[in-house]
Structures are given as C-alpha cells and as structure tokens.
Amino acid sequence: MQFQGRRWLRAGEVVEIQPVEWEDFCDWFTQNYRGILTTLQRREHGNVRVARFIDRPLQELRAHRLENNVPAVSITVEGKPDSAILADVTGPDRLTLHVNDSGWPTRLVIGYGEGEATVLFSGEPRPGRTFTANSWGE
C-alpha cells in the first residue's frame, strides 16, 4: 500500500487523481495520514467560502456511493469526545492533491458541479512517543 503513495505524493507537485483510483487513494490516505489535522472549506456560488470544520484530526477519507447511489467523497474527523463529524461532498468530478516541496500533502481539492471543497492538512499524523537511536527502553 505504501508503494501506491509514491504515484500520488510527488514533492512540489499538484497531482490529478483519476476517478478509477479514488477508492484506493482514499484508503491509502486514511491508512497513512489518520490523525492529521484537517480543515474543510467549501466554495460555492459567488465564491462564498464556508468552513465546515477547522483543525480536527482525520479519521477517514472515503470515496463511495451513498444510499441513493450518488457518488461522494466523505471526510470524517474527530468531534467532541466519543463523536465524529462527517461531511459528504456529493457528485465529485475531480480530486487534486497538492504536495509541498518536502513531499507532504497540504490540500486535497474536490471539484463538483456547483463549486469545490478544499480539504487542508496541517500538523503531523498519529502523534505519539518519539524514539531515538539512544532509547534504552525507557
């Protein structure tokens, strides 16, 4: 699965993800970036930007069909304790991943008929204890 990421994470580039790859990309991204701080902004008619959530840890990015058979990209982030916030972007027609010069994903643009949703990423995924070469098991 990590090997797949090399085709999408090209340092300093903007990568258009093909529709046939959306499910694989979302699975790979979730597996590798769960916990990364995530912000969702939507731009619709008249360039009005609306933030759905700001700096919430990512739980899942998923490309799928909703119960009514409408295609969607769903972003799930942590909400208050023991809850999650789900945002569906319905009718996507393109996914574009922006990667900085260090090879780190900075945003995912999800285009759809009426506008676009921009998913911004910051911080580091899966915060945890850091180990060094000198760690003696403490």
Q: Return the CATH number at 54.
A: 2.70.180
When pLDDT is cut at 50, 70 and 90, the band that residue 3 belongs to is low
What confidence tens digit (pLDDT) does each residue in 124-135 have?
665 444 444 444
CB-CB neighbours of 57 under 10 Å:
16
Cα torsion through 88, 94, 97, 98, rounded to 10:
-110
pTM: predicted TM-score of the whole model, two decimal places: 0.84
Tell me, yes or no, whether 49 lies in a domain.
yes
Whether 48 maps to a domain, the answer reads yes
CB 106 within 8 A of CB 120: yes
pLDDT tens by residue, 58-97:
999 999 999 999 999 999 999 988 899 999 999 999 999 9
Residue 127 forms part of a structural domain: no
Q: What is the pLDDT of residues 67-76, one digit of tens each?
A: 999 999 999 9
Confirm whether 134 is domain-assigned: no
Q: Residue 116: inside a domain, yes or no?
A: yes
Q: Cα separations (Å) of 14 from 17, 104, 136? A: 10, 12, 42
Host domain of residue 68: 2-122
Domain count, the chain: 1
Identify the DSSP state of 98: E
